[in-house]
């Protein structure tokens, strides 16, 4: 038996492992199993080049819990290690400047572990003692037993081991007894080892029989050793891809819409499959995330800095040995490989979408509602993606017809260009609420888009910035005559006083509400439009809507809602009201008061008192509110009663 001290610098490493690496201590299992898998793969490679002769036999890696001895063993039949190799790979974990490094990175588990190949030593995070029993594949090799109790001292001796390979035996610390529970270990294996390229066995398969769970004779294999992303696209059917999707996300019921198989080997190495899930709202976006693997070992599902943010809406796997996983997140963002990977994925995704669109526009349109949020998000946050996506990003009109923006512009150009050459695109986010406005627009031969998605407001603003002389206006933001102005303002023959009187009269009877302002304007809409109606300014409303999603815009969010109450001076009813107000009665009043008050003031007062007598004015206001869904509670009850009385 030999005794020794582990590398010079390991004095510093044990306390770090013990004290500082608590946060992620479960990764010890991933590290040990990766080593076992590597050793097995190396053996296969040696065998394939003829360096190892004969049948390799059983190559499964086994994870075994012994509750009595309180041990957890990872056992492989890989290349094994000779005593010299144990000394070289396990004992000499020497590196320069260890102390300095350890102090610098003591908060970052992964950085230390990955950087120094401390994988094996992570076993000490949860063990009071670790033993290695190993028999090398080399001819005449002698088995070796290594043992260490978490201090720099170790023992090493020759031992007897019948089978080639390595057993790493962890004597689990009392405070980590959860790692002696079947359920915990099975959970970790399923998390980290689901797609490792060598079979991992843990216990026996179980089955329900007569209401009882019974063990079968068969081993319980944790992993799929040939996951779809490692196979050639040509060998896979759509069903294979769907099946793999459910393997990845066992709780996901819905099928993905389509997939993209990634495969590059220059200038970096990356494989993977990305799936487009059905995304209906923000809510289910982050339930299933893209999983990142390194040579089929699960690393993380926090891919935020590796793929562009909008791509995190996708599902699937990315496997790359070239992503530096063991460094900090901020470093990742500036890493050149990561930038290239991110750019590559963006291009690949955009190209695939363009290809799908070209291949079958109708099919693509059918999927549009499900992928729209993802594409809009990408366009809003990634200029390069925007450039490609603008050719397949679709707009849907109220008839359910889809078109790209360029196609749509072409379709409506003739009818919807106003007198100043602006192309005005009309939209609604609520066809029921805007029914009357929509009907009026259609009557003029205009088309109306349906824009009821969560990102539509932002998308429209972006399109306006990118397209000169293009404006989106919600159908209820003004009279249709004003929205697409074809000639100079229509005129009515009301006098200024009359107009002012009418305005004041309506203003006096409009209900007051908190955080709600109504402005009365008198202007001629069409004679067959409603006599009084509400519109809402496009700019203010959009600012408010956008402020709901964006920081730094809360100023708009706090502003009261503003509506215009448009009194349609072209409508016969309004003309009648106005006529009454200019009747002799008003003139008489004006004569009488001459000298005391200005003519204008007199008119306003008279109009007001006349309006007060005329119930129809209140009725008109209520109708306008009702048409916009704003007449509620007491006001609604009053309206109903008044309507009955008027009848």
Phi/psi class of residue 295: alpha, beta or left (left: φ > 0; alpha: ψ in -120 to 50)?
left
Nearer to ligand ADP, 80 or 524 (CB): 80
Return d(Cα 196, Cα 536) in angstroms, integer: 59
Q: Binding to ligand ADP (CB under 6 A): which residues in 433-452? A: none
27 vs 30, 67, 176, 202, 458, CA distance in Å? 5, 21, 13, 17, 42
Q: What three-state secondary structure class fits 187?
A: helix
502 lies in the binding site for ligand ADP (CB under 6 A): no
Q: Which is nearer to ligand ADP, 295 or 404 (CB)?
A: 295
Q: Which is nearer to ligand ADP, 28 or 446 (CB)?
A: 28
Question: Of the candidates 111, 92, 88, which has an alpha carbon nearest to the alpha carbon of residue 16?
Answer: 111
Options 5-13, 35-43, 138-146, 187-195: segment touching ligand ADP (CB under 6 A): 35-43
Q: Give the range of 33-41, 290-298, 484-492, 526-534 binding ligand ADP by CB under 6 A.
A: 33-41
120 scored as a contact of ligand ADP (CB under 6 A): yes
Compute the distance between CA of residue 378 and CA of residue 458 in angstroms, rounded to an integer: 12
Token pair listed for 317 = 């796997």
- Please identify which residue in 36, 274, 341, 578 interacts with ligand ADP, judged by CB under 6 A: 36
- Count the site residues for ligand ADP by CB under 6 A: 16
**Measured at CB, which residue is nearest to ligand ADP?**
119
Min separation Cβ 182 and ligand ADP, Å: 22
- Of residues 321 and 445, the one with the C-beta less far from ligand ADP: 321
Stretch near ligand ADP under the rule CB under 6 A, chosen from 117-125, 181-189, 383-391, 607-615: 117-125
324 binds ligand ADP (CB under 6 A): no
Report how far residue 124's alpha carbon sits from residue 395's, in angstroms, rounded to the nearest whole number. Answer: 58
Options 73-81, 404-412, 447-455, 585-593: segment touching ligand ADP (CB under 6 A): 73-81
- Minimal distance, residue 28 CB to ligand ADP, in Å: 10
Phi then psi for residue 614, to 5 deg, are -95, 105
Cβ(119)–Cβ(113) below 8 Å: yes
Residues 132-191 touching ligand ADP, rule: CB under 6 A, are 166
- One residue of 14, 46, 59, 119 binding ligand ADP per CB under 6 A: 119
**In terms of CB distance, is 37 or 290 closer to ligand ADP?**
37
- Output the DSSP codes for 459-510: HHHHHHHHSTTEEEEETTSS-HHHHT--SSPP-----HHHHHHHHHHHHHHS
- Tell me how far apart the alpha carbons of residues 434 and 479 are, in angstroms, rounded to a whole number: 12
User: Which residues, 74 to 103, sit near ligand ADP by CB under 6 A?
Assistant: 76, 78-81, 89-90
Return the DSSP state at 528. T
- Which span sits near ligand ADP by CB under 6 A: 71-79, 154-162, 364-372, 577-585? 71-79
Pick the piece of the chain touching ligand ADP (CB under 6 A) from 116-124, 139-147, 239-247, 483-491: 116-124
- Give me the DSSP letters along 36-54: HHHHHHHHHHHHHTTSS-S
Closest to ligand ADP by CB, 98 or 393: 98
Nearest distance from residue 105's CB to ligand ADP, in Å? Answer: 16
Q: Which stretch binds ligand ADP (CB under 6 A): 112-120, 300-308, 509-517, 550-558?
A: 112-120
CA pair distance 339, 322, nearest whole angstrom: 12
CB of 81 to ligand ADP, least distance (A): 5
400: alpha, beta or left, given left = phi > 0 and alpha = psi -120 to 50? left
Q: Which of 35, 564, 628, 630 binds ligand ADP (CB under 6 A)?
A: 35
Do residues 506 and 621 touch, judged by C-beta distance below 8 A?
A: yes
| 324 vs 453, beta carbon nearer ligand ADP | 324
Which of 117, 267, 321, 557 contacts ligand ADP by CB under 6 A? Answer: 117
User: What distance, in Å, lies between the first and last C-alpha atoms of the chain?
Assistant: 110
Shortest distance in whole angstroms from residue 255 CB to ligand ADP? 39
548-555 long-range contacts, CB within 8 A, separation 24+: 549/458
Residue 250 phi, psi dihedral angles, 5° rounding? -60, -25
Question: Rounded CA gap, 453 and 373, in Å?
Answer: 7
User: Which one of the spans 118-126, 217-225, 547-555, 611-619 is the region binding ligand ADP (CB under 6 A)?
Assistant: 118-126
For residue 389, what are its two tokens?
């996506």
- The residue ranges that bind ligand ADP (CB under 6 A) are 31, 35-36, 39, 76, 78-81, 89-90, 117-120, 166
């Amino acid at each position: 038996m030999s005794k020794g001290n582990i590398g010079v610098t390991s004095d510093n490493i044990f306390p770090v492992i013990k004290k500082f690496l608590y946060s992620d201590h479960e990764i010890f299992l991933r590290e040990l199993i990766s080593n076992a898998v590597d050793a097995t793969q190396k053996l296969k490679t040696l065998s394939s080049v003829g360096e190892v002769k004969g049948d390799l036999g059983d190559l499964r890696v086994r994870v075994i819990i012994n509750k009595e001895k309180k041990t957890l063993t990872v056992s492989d039949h890989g290349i094994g290690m000779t005593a010299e190799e144990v000394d070289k790979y396990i004992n000499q974990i020497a590196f320069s400047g260890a102390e300095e490094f350890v102090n610098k990175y003591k908060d970052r588990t992964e950085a230390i572990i990955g950087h120094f190949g401390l994988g094996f030593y992570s076993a000490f995070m949860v063990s009071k003692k670790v033993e290695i029993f190993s028999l090398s594949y080399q001819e005449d090799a002698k088995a070796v037993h290594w043992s260490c109790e978490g201090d720099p001292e170790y023992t090493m001796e020759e031992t007897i081991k019948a089978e080639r390979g390595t057993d790493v035996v962890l004597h689990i610390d009392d405070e980590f007894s959860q790692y002696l529970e079947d359920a915990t270990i099975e959970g970790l294996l399923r998390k980290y080892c689901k797609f490792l390229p060598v079979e991992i066995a843990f216990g026996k398969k179980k089955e329900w029989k007569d209401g009882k769970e019974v063990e079968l004779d068969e081993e319980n294999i944790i992993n799929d050793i040939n996951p779809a992303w490692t196979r050639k696209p040509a060998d896979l059917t759509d069903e294979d891809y769907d099946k793999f999707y459910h393997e990845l996300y066992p709780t996901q019921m819905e099928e993905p819409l389509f997939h993209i198989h990634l495969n590059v080997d220059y200038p970096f190495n990356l494989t993977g499959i990305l799936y487009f899930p059905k995304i209906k709202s923000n809510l289910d976006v982050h339930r299933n995330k893209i999983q990142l693997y390194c040579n089929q070992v699960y690393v993380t599902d926090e891919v935020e800095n590796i793929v562009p943010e909008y791509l995190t809406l996708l599902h699937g796997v990315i496997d790359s040995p070239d992503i530096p996983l063991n460094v900090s997140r901020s470093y990742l963002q500036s890493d050149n490989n990561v930038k290239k990977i991110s750019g590559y994925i963006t291009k690949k995704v955009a190209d695939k979408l363009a290809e799908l669109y070209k291949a079958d526009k109708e099919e693509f349109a059918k999927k549009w509602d499900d992928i729209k949020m993802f594409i809009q998000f990408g366009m809003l946050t990634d200029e390069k993606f925007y450039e490609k996506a603008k050719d397949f990003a679709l707009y849907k009109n109220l008839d359910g017809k889809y078109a790209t923006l360029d196609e749509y512009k072409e379709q409506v150009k003739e009818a919807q260009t106003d007198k100043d050459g602006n192309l005005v695109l009309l939209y609604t986010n609520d066809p029921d609420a805007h029914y009357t406005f929509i009907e009026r627009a259609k009557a003029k031969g205009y088309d109306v888009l349906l824009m009821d998605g969560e990102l539509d407001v932002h998308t429209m603003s972006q399109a306006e910035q990118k397209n000169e002389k293009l404006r989106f206006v919600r159908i209820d933001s003004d009279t249709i005559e004003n929205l697409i102005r074809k000639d100079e303002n229509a005129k009515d023959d009301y006098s200024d006083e009359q107009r002012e009187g009418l305005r004041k009269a309506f203003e006096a009877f409009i209900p007051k509400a908190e955080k709600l302002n109504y402005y009365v304007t008198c202007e001629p809409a069409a004679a067959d439009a409603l006599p009084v109606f509400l519109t809402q300014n496009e700019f203010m409303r959009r600012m408010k809507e956008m402020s709901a999603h964006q920081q730094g815009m809360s100023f708009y969010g706090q502003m009261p809602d503003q509506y215009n109450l448009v009194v349609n001076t072209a409508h016969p009813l309004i003309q009648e009201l106005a006529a009454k107000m200019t009747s002799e009665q008003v003139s008489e009043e004006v004569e009488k008061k001459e000298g005391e008050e200005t003519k204008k003031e007199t008119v306003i007062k008279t109009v007001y008192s006349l309006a007060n007598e005329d119930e129809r004015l209140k009725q008109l206001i209520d109708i306008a509110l009702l048409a916009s869904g704003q007449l509620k509670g007491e006001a609604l009850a009053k309206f109903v009663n008044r309507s009955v009385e008027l009848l």
